[in-house]
Amino acid sequence: MFDYARKILEKTYTGKCNIYGTELFTDENGITDEREGVLVKSDIPCFLSYESNPVAIQGDYGVATSVIKLFLSPDIEISLNSDIEVTQNGITKKYKHSGEVAMYKTHQEITLVSERKA
């Protein structure tokens, strides 16, 4: 039953994502360090969803916020604070994995933060 539901859900994945993280390496002197920004996984089918929150007033300005969720296979492991590049509907944006993963038998949901600069 869950396999069928998962196949149906995965048909809605109209995007692809690349996951960037850290990797341990040892230099020529035998010193182990971390290298950041390493492509860990690529071309993972996914779906990006935006959920708008009400506009909050701060001083003279309204601030609109969105909850951004990434839906993908439960088989993919993504570390907290990974950088995630998503291409959906011909638009590519960068995000950071910011929250706890909601894991289900059919999919997982990851909360993202936009890396947009003001």
pLDDT, averaged per 10 consecutive residues of the chain (118 residues), comes to 91 96 86 88 96 67 76 92 94 88 95 72
- The CATH number given to whatever domain includes residue 36 is 2.40.10.270
* Number of domains within the chain: 1
CA-CA-CA-CA torsion sign (69, 72, 75, 81): negative
The residue among 40, 47, 39 whose CA lies nearest residue 88 is 47
Whole-model pTM: value is: 0.79
Q: What is the pLDDT of residue 55?
A: 62
Widest pairwise Cα distance in the chain: 57
Domain that holds residue 101: 2-114
